Chains A and B, each alone.
Chain A
Amino acid sequence: MRRIVITGMGAICALGHDAPSVWKAMTEGVSGIGPLTRFDASALRSGGIAAEIKQFDPSRHFDEARLAFLDPLSQYALVAAREAVEQSGISFDGERASRTAVLVGVGVAGEETREGLYKRLYEERATRFHPLGIVRIMTNAPASQISMAHGITGPTFAVASACASSNHAIAQAALMIRAGLVDAAVVGGAEASLTLGLMRAWESMRVLAPDTCRPFSAGRKGLVLGEGSAMFVIETLESAQARGATILCELAGTGMSADAGDIAAPSAVGASAAMSMALRDAGLAPEAIGYVNAHGTGTVANDSTETRALHSVFGAHAPALAISSTKPMHGHALGAGGALELIGTIGALRDGIVPPTLNYLEPDPACDLDYVPNVAREKKIDAAISNSFAFGGLNAVVAVKRMG
C-alpha cells in the first residue's frame, strides 16, 4: 500500500491568518471567540458570539478583478491552499498537474454572498441578481478556485458532510492516492457562514452557547460557531522523498461511518465505528495513540456521547489519552472544522505540545477522561487521531503519526 505523507499546511481562522500563528495561539490557549461584529447581532437570543476572522484584508491577497469572483469562503480556502503549497514546495508542472486532486470540504456554501443578494431580492425588491452570484455561492467554488490558481487538472470537487466535511475530504484524497489515481492532493476544508440567517438557524436548534464554548466541562451550554479554512498538501512518501520535501507527518489512516439513526442526536456506536476503522486502517493499536483531537463541540449530548465512544474504542487505555477540543479557540468551523483541528493535531505530533480544552470549569461525571483542561501540556505524541462527527449522523476520523 502507498504510504501518504503531509508536506504542507496552511490555515486561517479567528486565531490567525497562517498556520504558524494558528498553532502558536493554540499552544498559548488563546480564544478567538467574541461578540459578532460583522452584522448587528443584538437581537440574537444566543448571545451573539462567534469566532470571527478579524483584520483580514482581501485586497492584500487578491487583485480586484479576481476578488469579484470570490466569496470569503473561497478567499479563505485560497489563502490556506497557497500557504500549504508554498510550504510543501510542490509544483504542478507537466504530468503532476493531472496527477493531483483538489478536495475541499464545505459544510454550507458562500453564505455571505447568498444572504446579501437575497436581501436585495426579497427585502429591497431588487429586480436584478448579480451575475457572479452563482459562481461565488456554489459549494465547489473553493475547490475550483484552487485548481485554477495552481493549474491543477486532476479530480477536483467539494465534499459535503456538514461538520465532518474536512475529514471526509481528507479520507477521499487518501483513498484516491492509494488507488493510484493521483500522487498528491491539495485537501482540507473551508467555511464562511457567520451570517444572520445561519446564526438564526443554529440558534433555533438550541445548540448555541450564550456564554462561551466549554467542551467536556460541567456547565457547558452548547457550541460557538467559527469560520476559516485549513488546507494541506498530501502526497505519496515516494513523491515527497523524490522531491526532497520536508515531511510534517504521515497520514496513516482514515475511518468513516454513518449512524443511520437520528438526523441530529449523536451516536456512540457510529462514532466508535469511525475511530476503530481509522485505527485499523492506520495499523495502529489503541495503545499507540497519545492524543485525540476531539470533536468536542461543547453541547451536552456530543461531549458525553464522544466520551462513551472513546471508552469503547480505547478501553483501559482511554484514561491515558490526552484529549482536547480546540473549538473554544477557533470556534466550531463546520466544514473547515476537521482541517483546522488537524493543524492542532499535527502541531502536537511535531512539537510535543498538546493544545488545551479552554473554558473548562469542573468535571462532568458523564465526561470522565483527561481533557487537558485550560493549559497546554508537554507530552511526546507518536500518533494521534482527530474526530469529526456531523449532523446527519456522518462520522470521519483521521489518524496521523510521526515520521519515524
Chain B
Amino acid sequence: MSNVQQETFDIIAKQAKIELDTIKPESTLKDLGIASLDAIEVIFDIEEHFNINLPNEDTDFDGGTVGQLVEAIERQLAQKTSE
C-alpha cells in the first residue's frame, strides 16, 4: 500500500469512525456509510492533509471508489511537485 493510500485510508477511517481494514480500494464512500456532508468533510480533510485541491469531477461520492480517489490525490500531488 502506498503512503498516499495509507494516509487517505487513515483519514477516512478517522472521519467515518470505522475500522481501517473495512476500507478496500474498490469501496465507494457510500459503501462505507459516508454520505452528504460527511463525504464533503472527508474530502476537505484530505485536501488539508496533502495541501491540494481536488476538483469536483474527482469527487463522485456515489459511483467513485476510494481507489479512484487515491489516484486523484496522487495526480494532484504529482502536479504540485512538477510546478
Contacts and interface: CB of A to CB of B under 8 A. Distances in A.
Contact of B44 (A45, A204, A222, A263): A204
Interface in B49-65: 53, 55-56, 59
A306 B22 CA distance: 34
Nearest to A261: B36
B56 A206 contact: yes
B23 to A, nearest CB: 21
B36 A264 contact: yes
Contacts of A206: 40, 43, 56, 59
B37 interface: yes
A31 to B, nearest CB: 22
A210 B36 contact: no
Contacts, number: 23
Contacts of A263: 36-37
B35 interface: yes
A242 B71 CA distance: 71
A45 B53 contact: yes
B40 to A, nearest CB: 6
Contacts of B55: 45
A221 interface: yes
Given A45-B53, A45-B55, A221-B56, A265 B35 contact: yes
Chain B binding surface, main DSSP class: helix
A213 to B, nearest CB: 15
Interface string A201-233: 000111000100000000001100000000000
A262 B36 contact: yes
Contacts of B53: 45
A20 B35 CA distance: 43
B37 to A, nearest CB: 5
A264 B39 CA distance: 12
Contact of A265 (B36, B43, B44, B56): B36
Interface of B: 35-37, 40, 43-44, 53, 55-56, 59
Given A204-B40, A262-B37, A265-B35, 5 more contacts: A45-B53, A204-B44, A205-B37, A206-B59, A263-B37
16 contacts: A45-B53, A204-B44, A205-B37, A206-B40, A206-B43, A206-B56, A206-B59, A222-B56, A262-B35, A262-B36, A263-B36, A263-B37, A264-B36, A264-B37, A265-B35, A265-B36
